[in-house]
Amino acid sequence: MDRSKKPAAIGVGASLPQPTIAIKDNTISASLPSGESVTIHLYGATVTSWKANGQEQLFVSKKAHLDGSKPIRGGIPLVFPVFGPPPQNHVTSPLPQHGFARNSNWEFLGKSSSESAETAGQEKADLAVKLDFGLSHTMLTEEFRKAWPLEFGLVYSVTLTKDTLETSLQVRNEGTQNFEFQVLMHTYFNIDNISNVRVKGLDSKTYVDKTRNATSHTESSAALAITEETDRVYKELDPAVPVIISSADDDKPIFSLTRKALTDVVVWNPWIEKAKGMADFGPDEAYQNMLCVEAGAVSGWQTLEAGEAWEGGQTIKSRL
């Protein structure tokens, strides 16, 4: 990891309340003076808490392993360089499901804060704190390095503002040959009750239904209700158009999700039987309190030439 690229503090007004950072037990937390906070485990650079409007916005299973023995079941695990079970006869074939990023130890590169000059001292909405995390091929376990022997650098940035959480990933090819990758931000949203939410913004989009032998369909619902096991990869979405989790009662948005360079969106809920079957998912009925809406580039492969960089990300707005 090139440490000379550490982020610098920018535009910090000395007299204004500033974000605070706490580093404890392999987790990094940042809080804004207005009360919002975010926590990231270095294991997987997994965001495990995002509090806004006085409420936890992310779902984490009560049985999640937080000791680095297994990818964390909840929050925002980062999927890289392959989504799902790797295909056969591919460079990613020896890797586990969803790759190695979510089960590797990342390093904390530092934080930066910013506040727009026009609003400084008046409107705190623009105060932002950005935490950067790095993972490179030299940091992987020997097993993962053997399984994916390519030279890469990842910088994952988590930015908290009063109303949003942004996660973005930069992938650098530091080797001498091209490589292919997939990436996905596997966000587990915390919801009151699955029967009371709808997913909007998928209407007329083509999706692959992984619960029905990966068959292709076209979404006909403008407000998708989740009433059974759901595992769908929606393709070719305009990243600038939000996908919205809304309330079925009053149609108000609960979360909205815009993306950069991530044109696929996965919608996943394990429902009753699958939830029971996952040893790290609990309690069993918690499938009612979560919905994964995952921004990714997973239906094809991104090709990155030697020396080149790629960047993609998501911005989540909560309880608008």
Ligand X SMILES: O=P(O)(O)OC[C@H]1O[C@H](O)[C@H](O)[C@@H](O)[C@@H]1O
Residues taking part in catalysis? 186, 294
Nearest distance, CB of residue 149 and ligand X, angstroms: 23
202 scored as a contact of ligand X (CB under 6 A): no
Nearest distance, CB of residue 102 and ligand X, angstroms: 8
1, 40, 59, 98: which one contacts ligand X (CB under 6 A)?
98
266, 286, 291, 297: which one contacts ligand X (CB under 6 A)?
266
Which residues within the stretch 144-183 sit at the binding site for ligand X (CB under 6 A)?
A: none
Residue closer to ligand X (CB basis): 268 or 287: 268
- What is the residue type of 83? F
97 scored as a contact of ligand X (CB under 6 A): yes
Residue whose beta carbon is closest to ligand X: 268
Q: In what order do the strands lie in the sheet with 46-52?
A: 20-24, 27-31, 37-41, 46-52, 55-56
- Tell me the site size for ligand X, rule CB under 6 A: 10
Nearest distance, CB of residue 211 and ligand X, angstroms: 9
210, 235, 260, 276: which one contacts ligand X (CB under 6 A)?
210
Residue closer to ligand X (CB basis): 34 or 299: 299
3-state secondary structure the chain: CCHHHCCCCCCCCCCCCCCEEEEECCEEEEECCCCCEEEEECECCEEEEEEECCEECECECCCCCCCCCCCCCECECEEECCCCCCCCCCCCCCCCCCECHHHCECEEEEEEEECCCCCCCCCHHHCEEEEEEEEEHHHCCHHHHHHCCCCEEEEEEEEECCCEEEEEEEEEECCCCCEEEEEEECCEEECCCHHHEEEECCCCCEEEECCCCCEEEECCCCEEECCCCEEEEECCCCCCCCEEEEECCCCCEEEEEEEECCCEEEEEECHHHHHHHCCCCCCHHHHHHEEEEEEEEEEEEEEECCCCEEEEEEEEEECC
Residue closer to ligand X (CB basis): 38 or 76: 76
Letters for 54-93 (x = contact with ligand X by CB under 6 A, - = none) are: -----------------x------------x---------
Judge if the upstream peptide bond of residue 19 is cis by omega within 30 degrees of 0: no
Residue closer to ligand X (CB basis): 103 or 256: 103
Nearest distance, CB of residue 287 and ligand X, angstroms: 12
231 scored as a contact of ligand X (CB under 6 A): yes
Nearest distance, CB of residue 297 and ligand X, angstroms: 14
292 scored as a contact of ligand X (CB under 6 A): yes
268 scored as a contact of ligand X (CB under 6 A): yes
As beta bridge partners, residue 31 has 20, 37
226 scored as a contact of ligand X (CB under 6 A): no
Nearest distance, CB of residue 298 and ligand X, angstroms: 9
215 scored as a contact of ligand X (CB under 6 A): no
Contacting positions for ligand X (CB under 6 A): 71, 84, 97-98, 210, 231, 266, 268, 292, 294
